[in-house]
Structure 1
Amino acid sequence: MTQNDLLNLNYSCIDSARENMTRLLEERDANYSLPQPLYNDPYLFRIDMEEVFQKEWLFVGMSSEIPTKGDYFTVEIGQNPVLIVRAADGSVNAFHNTCRHRGSRICLEHRGKVANLVCPYHQWTYDTKGNLLFAGTEMGDGFDMKQHGLKAAQCKVAGGFIFICLSDQAPENDFEEFLATLEEYMEPYDVDNTKLAVESNMYEKANWKLVIENNRECYHCAGSHPELLNTLLEWDDTNDPRAPQDFLDYYATQAAAWDAENIPHQHKSFGHRNRIVRMPLKQGTEVMTIDGSQGCTKLLGRIKNRQLGSMRILHLPNSWNHMQSDHFIVFRVLPISAQESLVTTKWFVHKDAVEGVDYDPERLRQVWDATNDQDRVLGEENQRGINSLSYQPGPYSTTYEFGVINFLDWYSQSVLSTISSFSKTK
């Protein structure tokens, strides 16, 4: 078999995978888990990467992680290394982390600070706007440096959240409306005056969709998350159909206190993809620490009320977040393979807070370290069971697992839409 034969066979396999995915999504039972191949097949995973993670807006990090010129961090979106850098004019830019000479990665560390971006292979040098500054005289007199700047990825910042899109045709829909609301709801926290206190990275041997599904319900919480339930109320939001009257009364009391400080809290949804809602924590608790007491002596931004609850921010396909009075926590999920995902958790505090004096990083992370590991075990066991010959899709509870149903509806509609667009352009 020739190399061209192998290449054509590969293309044929991918086309077949697209057709198979289309059929599975169109024929799937509503309110049921997905057919097995959508959780473990390498070819369908590749379609997920191409149609979701290379086309959707992805949360990658917070602007306060790169506060000054030349600060950067890197992220891997499948096989696409990307760098996020603060330019001299203060703007946040995203570039494909690959040199325009021979394709080597430029920034090799997870985060750092540079005057310029220098490729370690042959020292091609770019500024923080991606312009090529130096390529050496070896390239000859006719070489046009202006044609060899770094390839940019689309990048938007709102409320301190950095989103990137690897596609030239980024989906809009209601994304701009979500960003405007995010800017408004994040204003009290003054993210520019926060700093990264601690970060964790956890590899989970489970498909990325199983990671998100687990996050979108608390049906499992009572049996799995004792540390988290010291402070967290199980209701997903103020529209949760299970929420009893005593919770609604408690929410109303808390909301009145938030209104007094002009703290936004009304539920805001943007389809199934984006949602913002402020929820109270258990009575008598302040933040998500092991005992519910303060995590940092310094409050964030203009906040004065320690009982601010948790403002939950959902962004599909890869992030959920908890904004609290004295620190906030952001979560990012990135697929590694059909059965492996990377879950990154970051804790932020006021930039003037002193470690060991105002906050203890180990105490900040205690609850979510335990919860993340518990979820890892649940996800991995879920994956192992799904891999069984006996697996068939099972029903979700429309009350306890409505968040999972919403996620899979969004996923199915999004993938079918992009596959259809792809087919029309062939």
Structure 2
Amino acid sequence: MNQNDLLNLRHATLDEARNDMYERLSSRDANYSLDAPLYNDPHMFRIDMEEVFQKEWLFVGMSSEVPKRGDYFTVEIGQNPVLVIRDADGSVNAFHNTCRHRGSRLCTEKHGKVANLVCPYHQWTYDLKGNLLFAGMEMGNGFDKQKHGLKRAHCKTAGGFVFVCLANEAPKGDFDDFLQTLEEYMEPYDVENTKLAIESNMYERANWKLVLENNRECYHCAANHPELLNTLLEWDDTNDPRAPKDFLDHYQAQADKWDAESIPHAHKSFGPGLRNRIVRMPLKKGTQAMTIDGEAACKKLLGRVNNPELGSMRILHLPNSWNHMQSDHFIVFRVLPISAQETMVTTKWFVHKDAVEGVDYDPERLRKVWDATNEQDRVLGEQNQLGINSIAYQPGPYSETYEFGVMNFIEWYSDTMLKNLKK
């Protein structure tokens, strides 16, 4: 069998996998988990990457990570290295992090600062807007630099959040409506005047969908997250069917204080499966932040915030992010697939840009609760994956009262895949 035969066989196998995926998603029971191949099959994973992570808007980081001209951060979206950089005009742009000469990665560090972008391989040089400035006389007199600028990725920012899309044409719909609301809800925090205090990258041997499913319910919290439950109330919002009256009374008392300071808190959601969702929820009575003792983790409050009891404003963006905004710091989470059964979960903690480490905040105290929670979730996700890999696994039923968030996620995933597979 020659190389062309192998290539044709691979394509045929992938086409079969696409058809198989379409049939499985079309006929699935909405109240049950997915079939095993959707969690562990390499071909199905490749389709996930092509139809979700190379087509949809993805959260990659915060604009305050690139505060000045030439500041950049990098991110790996499957096999696609991406570079996010602030240019001389103050705009935040995203480029494919690959040189137009022979494809080498330009920036190899997670964070950095440059005057221009210089390829380490042969020193091709680009400005901060991706224009090719220098390729050397070796390319000859007929070489046109204007045709060899960096390839852009779609990039949008709102409320300090940076999103990219790798598709040739970015999807439309209600994403811009979400960004407008995000801008409004993030205004009190003044993200441009925050800084990255801590970054954690956790490797998890589980499919990315299992990571998201775990996040979308607190059914498992009581038995697994003692540190988190020191402050977190598990009710998802005031419409949570399990929410008792004392929680609703607590919410209303806090909401009255938020209204007095013009702090947005009403539940806003956009898209199928509540894909984009913002809601502010109070923490337990007498607590201020998600720390081990419930006290604030940083002495400097964010932006125009005066009330230390802002609770947690929860922001969801599918397919790859959930976030907790608090009065003194905020935490963002980014999920990026590696393989069918491997995922990278990145957690970042942000504080006021003038906060001094060791004086205004203690990094270990800042991160303690979520380090513990992430590790607990890693173990749960990996055990979930191992069970799904068993020949005995078959899709199981979701609880409509405890796992409605998981059902929403699977609804979004299924609708998105079916839509994209049709194209």
Note the alpha carbon deviations across 1:9-53, whole angstroms, 9 max, x for none.
Answer: 111111111001001101111110000000000000000000000
Instruction: Work out which of the residue numbers 312, 319, 322 in structure 2 matches 1:320.
Output: 322
Comparing 52-61 with 230-239, greater Cα deviation is found at 230-239
Equivalent runs, 1:112-127 vs 2, <5 Å: 112-127=112-127
Other-structure match for 2:41? 41
> Which consecutive unaligned segments of at least 5 residues does structure 1 have?
422-426
Instruction: State the partner residue of 1:186.
Output: 186
- Mapping of residues 338-353 of structure 1, within 5 Å: 338-353=340-355
1:136-184: CA deviations, max 9, x gaps?
0000000000000000000000000000000022112110000000000
1:17-416 pair list within 5 angstroms? 17-271=17-271, 272-416=274-418
- What SS is found at the alignment partner of 2:366? helix
3-state SS of the aligned residue for 2:406?
Answer: helix
What is the DSSP-based 3-state SS (H/G/I as helix, E as strand, rest coil) of the residue aligned with 2:178?
helix
**Residue-by-residue CA offset, 1:362-411 (whole Å, 9 max, x unaligned):** 10000000000000000000000000000000000000000000000000
Residue 424 of structure 1: aligned partner: none
Query: How many Å apart are 1:246 and its aligned residue?
Result: 1.2
Structure 1: distance between partners of 2:322 and 2:120 = 35
**CA–CA distance in structure 1, aligned partners of residues 44 and 353 of structure 2:** 43
1:99 to partner: Cα distance: 0.3
Instruction: Give the Cα separation in 2 of the matches to 1:3 and 1:204.
Output: 34
Cα deviation code 1:263-321 (max 9, x no counterpart): 00000010221000000000000000000001000000000000000000000000000
- CA distance in structure 2 between the partners assigned to 1:324 and 1:30 by the alignment: 34
Alpha-carbon separation, structure 1, partners of 2:101 and 2:400:
53
Q: Secondary structure at the match of 2:314?
A: strand
> How many Å separate the matches in 1 of 2:381 and 2:199?
21
- Distance across 2 between alignment mates of 1:238 and 1:297: 30
Partner of 2:400: helix, strand, or coil? Answer: coil
Cα deviation digits, residues 200-235 of structure 1 (max 9, x gap): 000000000000000000000000000000000011
What amino acid is aligned across from residue 130 of structure 1 in structure 2?
G
Give the counterpart letter for 2:238 in structure 1: T
> Counterparts of 1:212 and 1:238 in 2: how far apart (Å)?
22
Q: Which amino acid aligns with 1:406?
A: N
Note the C-alpha offset of 1:244.
Answer: 1.1
Please identify, of 55-64 and 245-254, the stretch whose mean Cα deviation from structure 2 is larger.
Answer: 245-254
SS of alignment partner, residue 324 of structure 2: strand
Mapped partners of 1:403, 1:20: distance in 2: 26
Helix, strand or coil for the counterpart of 2:306?
coil
Alignment size in residue pairs: 421
Q: In structure 2, what is the Cα distance between the partners aligned to 1:238 and 1:153?
A: 38
Question: 1:260, CA displacement in angstroms?
Answer: 0.3
Take 1:31 and 1:264, find their aligned partners in 2: how far apart are those partners? 33
Q: Letter of the aligned partner of 2:80 in structure 1? A: N
What amino acid is the match of 2:159?
G
Shift of 1:249: 1.0
Which of structure 1's runs of 4+ aligned residues deviate more than 6 A? none
Q: Hey, what's the Cα distance between the residues in 1 that align with 2:170 and 2:12?
A: 27
Distance 2:221 2:43 in 1: 33
CA distance in 2 between partners of 1:7 and 1:409 (Å) = 34
> TM-score scaled to structure 1, two decimals?
0.98
Distance 1:70 1:6 in 2: 44
Percent of residue pairs bearing the same amino acid type: 78
What SS does structure 2 have at the residue aligned with 1:157?
A: strand
Shift of 1:98: 0.4
Compute the displacement of 1:322 (Å).
Answer: 0.2
- After the TM superposition, which of the residue ranges 7-16 and 304-313 deviates more from structure 2? 7-16
Separation in 2, partners of 1:402, 1:88 = 45
**Residue ranges of structure 2 left out of the alignment (5+ in a row):** none
**Helix, strand or coil at the partner of 1:314:** strand
Q: Distance in 2 between matches of 1:105 and 1:8?
A: 29
Could you tell me which amino acid in structure 2 is paired with residue 415 of structure 1? M
